[in-house]
Structure 1
């Protein structure tokens, strides 16, 4: 039944697709888990929300979802589809960005690395710089919605994005991209960015707005945010959660910040890819740091779950990631039985697309009941 909601012929399905993002939950999977392992009106928690597919499924299926995501790209996708602003406000804001684009100076354009002139036309780049400067995406619902739609189309196929030919899910390294374009004599597409965005906004809103019931995704670090939720549960301001449904980052798989450097630049980040040194924002090269993260997050989760809560965690089938996850979950939820379900990859993985040809055993679903 829930899969009917995911058709693009209705609002729920159309908004559910916002945001290309690395290693995201398949939408059908998220809706299936929420429908099978929770009931209408129950509370669902995801401390590693990504683009908030789990929380979106909760809202669409009349549950209350609460997610936490540390990466602003994923968080923005989730916020926009859970609580999009009205179409009229977004269209007006898009028009205003077009006006601001005319005030962008040559000096501002010339201050960017050469990658940007290979990736975008001057007209598009003026629009992007105006949006980057003017949109308060972290405070305004209208600005968040417009910025999320910009991010979707920031790079991808040359025929359907702002950029020269690129992958949509991951921004490649600038030097590699320039060489690739030069070898093929490829230029960025000549488009009117305001009109381009009008068409994308109109399509997104064509079937209306998705229903929501105050489900939300919070931008922040779960190791601190969960403690705040714990205080609310203890004082009765927040009901305990009935389903923990999440997928933690996998050990040594990818760096979400490096891979999303161009979208992060749009959100006022660096104008070139960097390996962030901030806590919990890297590739998890350290086994100890990875164990600490999972231990701290799942221990805090255990304190805000209802007595009969169900735990559903999708993780990597490689030995260290899987055993670490199983051991920690067993320790923090000692009174629950554990079921392991293998989910072998049925097609080429996303990491294979980026040059990682190692054999992967797939993923594993860990399900725990009282």
Structure 2
């Protein structure tokens, strides 16, 4: 590892434990994001990630004296990215934890009984009371204090028993309510009795132990890249925004998983339905349609081509399976015809999109497509 990367990783640790905010897996491992930003851009450059996820690419860009702009359609990923770039002060978050607890006292038993059975199997009455109050009271989409607290709640919303707020659950995604209830009943697992204020205070203290980042050069936009990219095209064309020097992203993979469905419990916490729900938006599903998948890549990468510097670098990590690989290569070649292509194979590893879901033997890992 170069001295520059080592210095930046040390800096990242020193300013806090925020780069890893989110579930235990990441589409972009943190060290990988820093390495790509260092090797394929220079200080002062502008970086775009139209499929930002938790915005690791944008975090790395801003931490390394670049500017970064990410777009993320899933509010869970967006919230993690938004908060870790510039979280609220520790004292303000601790105060908000206490405020929510004081309001939660007034939650009636009737309101607790009004949620599906899953929630009473998953959480103790005290925790559920707190979560319902936080869900109703926190303005996570326009208030940085509320957003910071909500992000910390989401990280700990479910996972290992007594290391999270829930009964024992898979860490990455919430299983279906019926499956979970039956699993808990068979094992006679009841929700752990947790004081949510004490629990969250400890997590906040840990998160802030080494400081907080203030990465003003990074931003992540909540929305659909297919429409937001066109807005950026207009801004670049009229001089409101400078062209980008590096496109660094990892699009969703064809037929891997449905992030909206898999994150249903965290989305409930953000005000969504209280059961897993398949949604009709074709950009937020599992991409069963090859045509829809190709269309997404074509629209987004074509828009990106209009906002990139002539000598910009394109760095795309994608699935090595045949359809995803070939489709991504075809689209990128079509929209960036003058650029050369270098392909680097990435062996199958843990905590990647291909590793997280399904049969490992059927997924040959990932590839990095680098165009200059």
Residue 331 of structure 1 corresponds to 334
Separation in 2, partners of 1:302, 1:282: 25
Determine whether 1:194 maps to 2:197: yes
TM-aligned CA deviation for residue 295 of structure 1 = 0.0
Determine whether 1:159 maps to 2:166: no
Separation in 1, partners of 2:239, 2:26: 35
Q: How does 1:217-296 map to 2 (within 5 A)?
A: 217-296=220-299
Q: Deviation string for 1:279-322 (max 9, x for gaps)? A: 30100000000010000000000000001100000000011111
Determine whether 1:176 maps to 2:179: yes
Q: Deviation string for 1:233-284 (max 9, x for gaps)? A: 1111100000000000000000001110000000000101111112301000
Kept in 2: contact 1:3–1:28 (CA 8 A): no
Determine whether 1:37 maps to 2:26: no
Determine whether 1:10 maps to 2:13: yes
Kept in 2: contact 1:6–1:16 (CA 8 A): no
Q: 2:126 aligns with which of 123, 145, 149?
A: 123
Determine whether 1:105 maps to 2:102: no
Residue 311 of structure 2 corresponds to 308
Q: 1:86 aligns with which of 85, 89, 94?
A: 89
TM-score if structure 2 supplies the norm length? 0.95
Q: How large is the Cα RMSD of the aligned pairs?
A: 1.7
- Runs of 5+ in structure 2 lacking a partner? none
TM-aligned CA deviation for residue 9 of structure 1 = 8.7
Residue 20 of structure 1 corresponds to 23
Distance 1:234 1:257, change over 3 A: same
Query: More deviation in 354-363 or 280-289?
Result: 354-363
Determine whether 1:208 maps to 2:211: yes
Distance 1:203 1:211, change over 3 A: same
Residue 71 of structure 1 corresponds to 74
Distance 1:163 1:4, change over 3 A: farther
Distance 1:355 1:185, change over 3 A: farther
Residue 95 of structure 1 corresponds to 98
Separation in 1, partners of 2:353, 2:304: 29
Residue 140 of structure 2 corresponds to 137
TM-aligned CA deviation for residue 359 of structure 1 = 2.1
Query: More deviation in 146-155 or 89-98?
Result: 89-98
Q: Secondary structure at the match of 2:274?
A: coil
Q: 1:320 aligns with which of 315, 323, 329?
A: 323
TM-score if structure 1 supplies the norm length? 0.96
Separation in 1, partners of 2:170, 2:59: 25
Separation in 2, partners of 1:244, 1:353: 25
Q: 1:149 aligns with which of 135, 149, 152?
A: 152
Kept in 2: contact 1:47–1:222 (CA 8 A): yes
Kept in 2: contact 1:73–1:264 (CA 8 A): yes
Kept in 1: contact 2:343–2:367 (CA 8 A): yes
